[in-house]
Structure 1
Amino acid sequence: MTATDLVVVTRQQVATGVVEFGLARADGAALPGWEPGAHVDLELGPGLLRQYSLCGDPADRSVLRIAVQREAAGRGGSRAAHERLTVGGTVRVHGPRNTFPLVAARHYRFVAGGIGITPIVPMVAAADAAGADWHLSYGGRTRAAMAYATALRDRYGDRVDLYPQDETGLLDLAGLLAGPGDGPVYCCGPESLVRAVEEHCRDWPPGRLHVERFAPRDDTTFPDTAIEVELALSGRTVTVPPGVPILRAVEEAGVPVLSSCREGTCGTCETPVLAGVPEHRDSLLSAQDRAAGDTMLICVSRARTPRLVLEL
């Protein structure tokens, strides 16, 4: 991925605990283009590479906008963003890239929970601009904690339903997802919401539900045994013991790999597979990608065969 140093040009609180940052080039040059669902990876300190969805306007090439919710119990990324990203300061940014693309359709249903609204904001704007029929159901703990809630409601009216939990209770997923309908469903939010949505949609046609999650799902279905991994570009072969991630073994062999979440949710370490059959344990790749077997997330996935050949 392309990496560049960007300047923090704006910083504003958009909800309780949520700050929006605007990032731009120091020379004012145009930034890379992107489409709804895309995100960028920010280097926030040693070992702190974190991904954030772009929530601005793809047509505005002058600035990239992200919104970061401070997580007191997180791994330090959100705290670093809130404390270190100040107006006038710089941050190294990788991307944009898109693992949650918006497919063309005439009808959409969007379901967002908490900070999961960030990739949904440009999606509903794109759907509206295209003249599609769409509806957004957006839940959060409190109205004050729901970023962009007022702006979305003011702009789109009754196409947006807000569900602050302390006022209305949880989202009525049984009603919202009573059937597959005529178009895709896009969902982003906490793992509890994503899992509940997946459960409601488990019998739907393939490809109808699109999700982006922040936490890994347990997807282990094959014994965790020692495997041999050949790194085709580096000319090295490493043995990966049981319980050791391929990513860690590769790094210990002296081959650098860009990574972020190390939980199989962000896609930063996605690596082409040249030979062998991956055992996918990530929470990102589609069923079609898994079946193809030509790429894998090496931070969590392993192998169904004794040997893998990776493009590293």
Structure 2
Amino acid sequence: MQQTVLDRVDRVAEDVVSLVLRGADGPLEPWEPGAHIDLHLPNWLTRQYSLCGDPADRASYRVAVRHDRLSRGGSEYVHLFLRRGRPLQVSLPRNHFPLVPAPEYLFLAGGIGITPILPMLRAAVAAGVPAKLVYVGKSVATMPFADELLAAHGDRVRVFATDERGRPDFAALAAETGPRALVYCCGPASMLDAVEAAFPAGRLRLERFRPAARTFAPDTEFEVACARSGRTVRVPADESLLDTLTHVGYPVPSGCREGVCGSCELRVLDGEPEHRDDIGAPAGRMYACVSRALTPRLVVDL
């Protein structure tokens, strides 16, 4: 956990504020484009936000938060109550959406989905790699950092305000994109679905706000042995592993509780997990908020 102080709150678009978090105890942990942090709010909620500042700046982190009108308490608190000077705890950066080397990039962003893409574009340009950004939003006024991007990158950035121009033709974009280009996309589900239909899967990297709809076998009870503590617990069919562990006194850090942030990662020592996350758990790991078990028993490093 890292201690920060809220140094700046700036309105960067309609219903979007940028937060600059200054390290309270010296330099913050390093990060790379695509990384995110968990922000621990004073109302006891934890929310995940992509880092959208400069990775070379070890003194502070920058995130952006859109005010969700159906907020579960996170974005609403940020917009209505957070003020400059507030101490805030943040997690170490995690990256499930890394920018991997490629001879060319096409970046696609929808609305607040610009946040992980912004430092990616900056890094690609700094490395001298050909890169373009197609940035989509309802209107320019709703699109955070649009002016910043246009000022810094000029013709590399194409802004589509759908209330004026409609959505881009993603099939046409795919046809004009070089065959060796990697395509990175973050945005609302409807945009990601359209992009998935247009671009080859092997060249596409996606980050979702919400998990994709999928069907799994019915939930069943299973047993979990906590190797370090020596305790074994039963996970009922109607309860998540995360909730069960919390109820028996082994709380696991968590953020989204939907399998998209990775904050509740556990190391699996034995047994086979049923992975239900949306980010692809690495070998020997699982995310306790959504994943279950394919074997009657799991052993975890807890």
- Shorter chain as denominator, the TM-score bin is over 0.9
Please say if 1:151 is aligned against 2:148: yes
- CA drift of 1:46 comes to 4.3
Matches within 5 A, 1:140-219: 140-178=137-175, 181-201=179-199, 203-205=200-202, 208-219=203-214
Distance 1:308 1:199 in 2: 37
Instruction: State how far apart, in whole Å, the 1-side matches of 2:217 and 2:197 are.
Output: 23
The TM-score, its normalising length taken from structure 2, stands at 0.95
2:51 to 47, 50, 54: 54
Contact kept? 1:218, 1:281, Cα under 8 Å: no
Q: Partner of 1:309 in structure 2?
A: 299
> Bigger shift: 136-145 or 78-87?
78-87
Partner in structure 2 of residue 125 of structure 1:
122
Aligned to 1:40: 37
Q: Distance in 2 between matches of 1:196 and 1:232?
A: 44
Deviation at residue 100 of structure 1 after TM alignment: 1.2
In the other structure, the counterpart of 2:109 is: 112
Output the TM-score relative to the length of structure 1: 0.92
* Matched-pair contact (CA < 8 Å) for 2:4–2:22: yes
- The unaligned stretches of length 5 or more in structure 2 are none
Q: Which residue identity lines up with residue 308 of structure 1 in the other structure? A: L
| DSSP 3-state at the match of 2:91 | strand
Deviation at 1:81, TM superposition (A): 1.3
Matched, 1:263 2:246: no
SS at structure 2 position matched to 1:176? helix
**Residue-by-residue CA offset, 1:189-213 (whole Å, 9 max, x unaligned):** 1122223322334x533xx221111
Q: Are 1:219 and 1:280, in contact at CA under 8 Å, matched by a contact in 2?
A: no
Q: Where do 1:57-68 residues align within 5 Å?
A: 57-68=54-65
Partners of 1:175 and 1:242 in 2: CA distance: 46
For the residues of structure 2 that align with 1:71 and 1:270, how far apart are their CA atoms? Answer: 26
Deviations 1:130-152 (A, max 9, x none): 00011111101111000011221
Cα distance, 1:81–1:249 mapped onto 2, change above 3 Å: same
User: RMSD of the alignment, in Å?
Assistant: 1.6
Deviation of 1:180 after TM superposition, in Å, equals 7.6
Counterpart position of 1:298: 288
Contact map agreement 1:264 1:281 (CA 8 A) in 2: yes
Seen in structure 2, the aligned counterparts of structure 1 residues 309 and 219 have a Cα distance that, compared at 3 Å, is farther
**Aligned residues of 2:269 and 2:299 also touching (Cα < 8 A):** yes
Give the distance between the partners of 2:190 and 2:268, measured in 1 at CA: 32
Q: Distance in 2 between matches of 1:217 and 1:141?
A: 23
Residue 172 of structure 1 deviates from its aligned partner by 1.8
Contact 1:219 1:282 in 2 (8 A): no
Q: Identity of aligned pairs, percent?
A: 50
1:11 alignment counterpart: 9
Secondary structure in 1 matching 2:94: strand
| Equivalences for residues 214-253 of structure 1 within 5 A | 214-253=209-248
1:78 aligns with 2:68: no
Separation in 1 of the partners of 2:161 and 2:279? 28
- Report how many residues are paired: 301
Q: Which runs of 5+ in 1 are unaligned?
A: none
Secondary structure of the equivalent of 2:93? strand
Moved over 6 A (4+): none
User: Aligned pair in 2 of structure 1 residues 185, 275: CA closer, same or farther (>3 Å)?
Assistant: same
Is contact 1:110–1:134 with CA below 8 Å preserved after alignment?
A: yes
